[in-house]
Amino acid sequence: MLIKKGVAIVFAGLPYMVNDLLDNEVTTFLRRALRRELDNVPLPDVKNAFLETVADSGKTISEQDALEAARLSEGYPYMVQLVGYYMWQSAQRRHSDMITADDVATGFSDALLAFDDAVCAPALDGITGAEKTFLMAMAKDSPEPTQVGDIADRVRRSRSWVSKYRAILIKDKLIRSVGHGQLEFAVPHLGQYLQSL
């Protein structure tokens, strides 16, 4: 008797990395897969998730500190995970059942280092020199939005050059439009990471 069972595969990654995987000749079967892109989680939902998860772990955190942790994560799903993990670890190292504002700050600092290594650095590994030039021009304004015209001036390139790389970087979810003629980084802290290079 033959028994058929379904198989489910779930994986996560930066959109441009997923695109590279889908474009691979060996993994054509993945092109038929159901693909979902996660948006940022609303900060009140992140705050509530921190409150609930911390309580479930036997620790406590104030509403204000949970909200600050949510704000620092910017609702970016992976950063939410990292901030939560590292603030919990900070309290754990102190043998405390309470996560304090200092734990949130320490957790965010530790999360940022891990985020840079796991997200920002790999995000830049797959880009061209021209794309990096574009992003470096944007980084001068980070964390504030950048005027598209300023990018053209900074890199001394034509508007068509800027339009071409703007479209590529938006498609790869590294930047996004935030109003007429304005762009910002879609990956949290990517601008600050570029500034540090």
pLDDT digits 0-9 by tens, 135-149? 999 999 999 999 999
Angle at 44 between CA 14 and CA 90, to 5 degrees: 70
User: What's the chain's average pLDDT?
Assistant: 90
Cβ atoms < 10 Å from Cβ of 80? 23
Q: Give tens-digit pLDDT for 107-120.
A: 999 999 999 999 99
Tokens 């790389």 sit on residue: 165
Question: In the prediction, which pLDDT does 14 show?
Answer: 64
CA distances from residue 133 to 7, 17, 140 in whole angstroms, order as listed: 43, 20, 11
Please give the DSSP secondary-structure letter assigned to residue 144: S
Model pLDDT for residues 149-194, shown as the tens digit of each residue: 999 999 999 999 999 999 999 998 899 999 899 999 998 899 999 9
**Percentages of the chain per state (helix, strand, coil), in multiples of 5:** 60, 5, 30
pLDDT (average), residues 127-132: 96
49: helix, strand or coil: helix
What structural domains and CATH numbers belong to the chain?
43-124 (1.10.8), 127-196 (1.10.10.10)
Q: What is the pTM of this model?
A: 0.77
